[in-house]
Structure 1
Amino acid sequence: MAKSLRSKWKRKMRAEKRKKNAPKELARLKAVLGQEGKGEISMKEVCESATLVSARGLPAREQDVEMSAGDAAEQNEMGKMEMDSKRSKDTQLNEHGQYPVWMSQRQAKKLKNQRLGKKTGQKKKKKGLAW
């Protein structure tokens, strides 16, 4: 395929822009890496781009609390996650009758047809020639 004049011009202009911006990018990279000055990142630069929050100011959540030895033993005895028990193994439906989000519509339709075929006991007629 031939190279058009437009693509050549665009490539040329991008190269010129890279040359022009290279010193700025290098200076910014050095500043971020902390090679400029004392060798450490100053907190002023970090505060401009990020919001810092202390851990003491955050409310404690139930999930963050460590489990006691008894709770850990009970968890191991059950061996199942809560999500596994709410979903049927054979139909893949949850308690609300919804399929998992990762399942495609084609798979869901196939499972639905299998499920409804079992209930009624009717066999689906095969397509083909009737000889």
Structure 2
Amino acid sequence: MRAEKRKKNAPKELARLQSILKTNSDVLMDEVKDIATIVSAEKIKEKKDLNEESKMDTDTKRNQKTLLDQHGQYPVWMNPRQRKKLKTKRTKGKNKPKVSKGLAW
């Protein structure tokens, strides 16, 4: 809910900050103008797309469905219950070979 509130209040806060920066009553506001820059959402999205191309090869070998990495290890943050649950999902579809019990008397 906090994230939703931030989205909702962002335009109001931006307008308030711009109105504060427009007043030239304080000398300090000129310094703040240099620091605070307004960037449109499109530019941020473009920058994000560029960053995804140059992404490091640290954790790209992880399967998104099973969360296993290339060595068959789960992430550190995953607790044993979640690991067991995913393992049962993964092995549920596989047919286990039937072992004969030998002679039945």
Bucket of the pairwise TM-score, normalised by the shorter protein: 0.3 to 0.5
What is the TM-score of this pair, normalised by structure 1? 0.31
What is the TM-score of this pair, normalised by structure 2? 0.38
Q: Which has the higher Rg, Structure 1 or Structure 2?
A: 1
